[in-house]
């Protein structure tokens, strides 16, 4: 399986996945990082791992439709079989879904269906919940509404700051996401 990772920002989940691919712990090949922010730190992480990078913005393409058509062409150029979203902050539209439905997964820092969309950790913390979590799910045309593959709760401790909660959520993501992706890729390879 030829895998592309989509990311928008810092890229800590990208780095964890890239290490697993590089160490041969994934049943597939990481062939591309796509980033919608050319200056994002994740681009530097990809360069460190010698992963090819494609990066352009919606604005540079003149709108979402043209942007997604250009992404689709990039995916075809790299012969991408599967997409893992790792901090990609855009909703995947029907243009990409038409070709990749059932072959795109996302990592979300909340126990869905709670806190879909942006600022999930901050919202759970502000609501003084006892727990939040991490969800890996397939992408559909909705906002964080696709079929759930795996979830794990993360406690919100009375002593937590937002930073300490984020740290524990990231630790959970860095453990859960590679496990789920490896299972999916291994199953795909055996079919």
Q: Which pLDDT score, from 0 to 100, does residue 188 have?
A: 83
> Is 13 marked as binding a ligand?
yes
**pLDDT tens sequence across 13-23:** 999 999 999 99
> Is 11 marked as binding a ligand?
yes
> Is 187 marked as binding a ligand?
no
pTM for the complete prediction? 0.96
Indicate which residues carry an active-site annotation. 108
Q: Which pLDDT score, from 0 to 100, does residue 189 have?
A: 76
The segments of the chain whose pLDDT lies below 50 read none
> Is 142 marked as binding a ligand?
no
Q: Which pLDDT score, from 0 to 100, does residue 25 have?
A: 95
Q: Which pLDDT score, from 0 to 100, does residue 27 have?
A: 93
For 117, other C-beta atoms within 10 Å of its C-beta total: 12
Q: Which pLDDT score, from 0 to 100, does residue 94 have?
A: 95
Q: Which pLDDT score, from 0 to 100, does residue 120 have?
A: 96
Which structural domains are found in the chain, ordered by start? 2-190 (3.40.50.170)
């Amino acid at each position: 399986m030829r895998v592309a990772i989509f990311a928008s920002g810092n890229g800590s989940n990208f780095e964890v996945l890239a290490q697993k691919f590089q160490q041969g712990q994934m049943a597939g090949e990481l062939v591309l990082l796509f980033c919608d922010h050319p200056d994002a730190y994740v681009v530097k992480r990809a360069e460190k791992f010698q992963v090819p990078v494609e990066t352009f913005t919606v604005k540079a393409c003149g709108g979402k439709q043209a942007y997604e058509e250009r992404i689709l062409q990039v995916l075809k150029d790299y012969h991408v079989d599967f997409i893992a979203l790792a901090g990609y902050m855009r909703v995947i539209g029907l243009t990409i879904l038409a070709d990749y439905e059932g072959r795109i997964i996302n990592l979300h820092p909340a126990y869905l269906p709670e806190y879909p969309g942006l600022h999930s950790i901050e919202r759970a913390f502000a609501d003084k919940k006892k727990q939040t979590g991490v969800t890996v799910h397939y992408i559909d045309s909705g906002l964080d509404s696709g079929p759930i593959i795996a979830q794990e709760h993360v406690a919100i401790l009375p002593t937590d700051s937002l930073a300490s909660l984020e740290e524990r959520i990231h630790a959970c993501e860095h453990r859960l996401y590679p496990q789920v992706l490896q299972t999916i890729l291994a199953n795909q390879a055996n079919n």
